[in-house]
Amino acid sequence: MKKLSNDIVLRPRFQLEILGNREQLLRKFIDSKKAPFLVNCLDNHIFIKYNKETTHFGSPQLHLEIDALDDRTSKIYGFFGPNPTLWTFFMFLHFVVATLFIIVGIWAYVSASLNKPYGLQVGFMVLLVVVWFALYTFGQMGKRKGKPQIQELYAFMMETLG
C-alpha cells in the first residue's frame, strides 16, 4: 500500500489488501468505540467521521468499502472526503456563480452589440470572478485545516484493523 503523501488532493483514495474475512473486519469497526470518532456501517460500507464537538468546516470523513477476495483475505477501498451536505452546498454555490457569470456575459455582449452601455455588466462579471476566487480560497483553507484530521482518521482505521 502507498503511504499517504503530505499533499491533500481532492478526495484522496487508497486500496489495502488485508488478511481477514470481510465480516470479521466489519465487526471490528462496528465494535470500535473511540472518541471523537463516529462509525456507521451500511452493508459492506463503513463511514467514519468526527463527532459534533470536534467538527469544523474542513473536517473530513473516511469512507471504506470492504470486499472479500477469498475466505481469508479482503480488499479495502477507502477515500477521504468532506461532509457530503457541505460539499453539495459548496458545489451549488460554484454552479450559481458560473451560471450568473454566463448570463451576465451574454447580457454584456448583447448590450455591446446594440451599442448600449455595458459597464455595469462588466463590473458585475468582475465581482463574480472575485466571489469565485473567495470560494476557492475558502475551500483551500478548509482543506488545510482538515489535513491533520485526515491523518487521525487513517491512524484510527489502521489501529482498528490491528
* Residue pLDDT, tens place only, 48-66: 999 888 888 888 999 999 9
Report pTM.
0.74
Domain shared by 94 and 125, yes or no = yes
pLDDT at 72: 87
Q: Do 45 and 69 sit in the same domain of this protein? A: yes
Within 13 Å and on the Cβ side, how many CA atoms surround 50?
21
Q: For residue 34, tell me if it sits in a domain.
A: yes
Same domain? For 23 and 67 the reply is yes
Note the pLDDT of residue 143: 83
pLDDT of residue 2: 52
54 and 39 share a domain? yes
Would residue 112 count as lying in a domain?
yes
Residue 101: CB atoms within 10 A of its CB come to 17
pLDDT recorded at residue 8: 46
In the block, residue with C-alpha cell 481477514: 20
Say if 132 falls within a structural domain.
yes
| pLDDT at res. 89 | 92
Residue 102 falls inside a structural domain: yes
Check whether residue 79 and residue 24 sit in a common domain.
yes
- Can you give the residue range of the structural domain that contains 72? 13-83+148-161
Place of cell 469565485: 132
Q: How far is CA 91 from CA 10, 36, 80, 106, 150, in A?
A: 13, 28, 17, 23, 21
For residues 89 and 100, state if they share a domain: yes
Number of domain units in the chain: 2
CATH number of the domain that residue 155 is part of:
3.30.310.80
Residues 63 and 98 reside in one and the same domain: no
Spans in the chain with pLDDT lower than 70: 1-10
Q: Tell me: do 63 and 109 sit in the same domain.
A: no
53 and 101 together in one domain: no
Query: What phi and psi values does residue 16 have, to the nearest 5 degrees?
Result: -150, 125
Indicate whether 1 belongs to any domain. Answer: no
Per-residue confidence (pLDDT) for residue 93, from 0 to 100 = 96
Indicate whether 3 belongs to any domain.
no
Distance CA 68, CA 21 (A): 7
